[in-house]
Amino acid sequence: MRKHVIGALVVTMALGLSACGSGDSGGDGGETSGKGKTLTVWIMEGTNPDPKPFFNEVAAAFKKKTGATVKVEYQQWATAQKKFTTAIEGGPSQVPDVAEVGTTWIPQFAETGGLVDVTDKVKESGLGDDLVEGLADAGTLDGKQYGMPWYAGVRGLLYRKDIFEKHNLKAPTTWKELRDTALVLKEKEPEMISFPVAGGAEMFATPFVWGAGGELAVDEGGKWKSGINSPESVKGITYYTDLAKKDKLSPAKVTTWTEKEVATDFQKGKIAMSLSGNWTPKAFVQAAPDLEGKLAAAPIPGETGGMSKSFLGGSYLSTFKGENQDLAWEYVKLVTTGEFATKWAEQTNYFPGQNSLLKEVQAKADPLVAPFAKQMTEAGATVPKTPAYGQIQATQVVTKMIQSILTDKQTVQEAADQAAKEMDKIFAS
């Protein structure tokens, strides 16, 4: 997912209640008065093709409840991390009241002291037990929760149902079946990429690391150490890269592809099966209407059965330490729960961050949604929860490793050892 992700479910901040909260109890139309106040909200662009009507509706409901005006400022994922960092360094006057931030950024921003621990506020609200475990965990550091889960995304297996039916194929349930199915597709549909091994897509490689029992990194007594070159991790990386190197299921041009290029070719009808996010089926059909009814999904198969873990990412809606924390918390609750949480999930095809709302999604039994929901609830995983991992992602340690293997510059072990050295250097800095 872009830095989400989930971002990619592609990556979050905190809200809270300070002693110098923004309003008095019993204010105009709500628990916290915001009469005469303006709440500044930063929202990332890209999740919802047209978010303005949604946030206009939220703003109207919030003003009716609290009397406060809401000013939404839309931010770009590519530049947001730097903008947040600069704002935090500038102090309370520079930061927004409420912000959407990808889950993988929580450790960095929590460490700076810009976020508020809202563990008690979540408990008081009665929402804590209803939060999706994997997503709640992504926003919790050292036992403290920094914000409210808003929406989530996870990658699963997306494939062309019509092509599979044409050749009497079923969704693979093991790594062997995944390879065998892709080999059949390579033979029967030579004009299509049977399974792209995208060298620029970190979250395409990690399920095979986790699926083999490996880890990106491990916490050893409070100190992080890379696990990318362990025997288990190397086994998973070898399987994944061999699909391209030995089985030739993925052409050389895919070596540098990110998820964006995979999506483009999938929409053009050039890919038969791929890892893909739960938000993509709806987007693919919108971009290419001829794909309507031709897509199917399944969880990412485990090595010998079950599921391989997949990165569970998304966004929290949270606040910085500032003057309007009471008011900000009211806004966060309004957006992340109930009617507006459901509406956002329906508009974006991402999953809500609460089990009760997620169950409503699952109950609809949509064949293009249910497999992803199963993947998320039963086999969702997070990257190491340390500020250093943000730097590891920024320097593309994992994707450089995969690309080095695919281009025969290094063996799997050599590339993994090199990646481990780079990770450990960053962890120690």
Q: Map the chain to HEC letters.
A: CCCCECECCCCCCCCCCCCCCCCCECCCCCCECCCCCEEEEEEECCCCCCCHHHHHHHHHHHHHHHCCEEEEEEECHHHHHHHHHHHHHHCCCCCCCEEEEEHHHHHHHHHHCCECCCHHHHHHHCCHHHECHHHHHHCEECCEECCEEEEEEEEEEEEEHHHHHHCCCCCCCEHHHHHHHHHHHHHHCCCCECCCCCCCCHHHHHHHHHHCCCCCEEEECCEEEECCCCHHHHHHHHHHHHHHHCCCCCCHHHHHCCHHHHHHHHHCCCECEEEEECCHHHHHHHHCHHHCCCEEEECCEECCCCECCEEEEEEEEECECCCCHHHHHHHHHHHHCHHHHHHHHHHHCCEECEHHHHHHHHHCCCCCCHHHHHHHHHHEECCCCCHHHHHHHHCCHHHHHHHHHHCCCCCHHHHHHHHHHHHHHHHHC
pLDDT tens-digit readout, 54-106:
999 999 999 999 999 999 999 988 788 889 989 988 888 899 999 998 888 88
pLDDT beyond 50 at 12:
no
Q: Which of 325, 368, 204, 184 is nearest to 276 (CA)?
A: 204
Q: What is the residue-averaged pLDDT of the chain?
A: 88
Residue 384: pLDDT band (50, 70, 90) is very high
Work out whether the CA dihedral 72, 75, 80, 83 comes out positive or negative. Answer: negative
Pairing of strands 223-226, 217-220: antiparallel
Q: How far apart are CA 300 and CA 194, in angstroms?
A: 15
Q: In 10 A of CB 60, how many CB atoms?
A: 11
Cβ 327 vs Cβ 321: under 8 Å: no
CA dihedral 263, 211, 294, 366 (to 10 degrees): -110
pLDDT beyond 50 at 125:
yes
Intra-chain end-to-end CA distance of the chain, in Å:
27
Distances 387 to 103, 416, 426, 427 between C-alpha atoms, Å: 12, 21, 10, 9
Token digits of residue 345? 């999930």
pLDDT at 179: 98
pLDDT beyond 90 at 10:
no
pLDDT beyond 80 at 20:
no
Q: In 10 A of CB 416, how many CB atoms?
A: 27
pLDDT beyond 70 at 307:
yes
Instruction: State mean pLDDT over 272-291.
Output: 94
Q: How far apart are CA 139 and CA 13, in angstroms?
A: 8
Residue 31: pLDDT band (50, 70, 90) is low
Residue 135: pLDDT band (50, 70, 90) is confident
Token digits of residue 256? 């540098």
pLDDT at 46: 79
| Residue 70: strand pairing partners | 39
Residue 128: pLDDT band (50, 70, 90) is confident
Instruction: State mean pLDDT over 153-182.
Output: 98
- Calculate Rg over the CA atoms of the chain: 22
| Residue 145: strand pairing partners | 140
Residue 22: pLDDT band (50, 70, 90) is very low
Token digits of residue 16? 């809270």
pLDDT at 7: 34
Instruction: State mean pLDDT over 131-153.
Output: 86
pLDDT tens-digit readout, 386-428:
889 988 988 899 999 999 999 999 999 999 999 999 999 999 9
pLDDT tens-digit readout, 322-360:
888 889 999 999 999 889 998 998 888 899 888 888 888
Q: How far apart are CA 359 and CA 72, in angstroms?
A: 30
pLDDT tens-digit readout, 241-255:
999 999 999 999 999
pLDDT beyond 50 at 289:
yes
At 143, the amino acid letter reads: G
pLDDT tens-digit readout, 33-51:
889 999 999 999 878 878 9
Percentage of residues of the chain with pLDDT beyond 70: 93
Token digits of residue 2? 């872009």
Q: Cα angle at 154 between 124 and 385, to 5 degrees?
A: 60
| Residues near 111 by beta carbon (within 8 Å), at least 6 away in sequence | 387
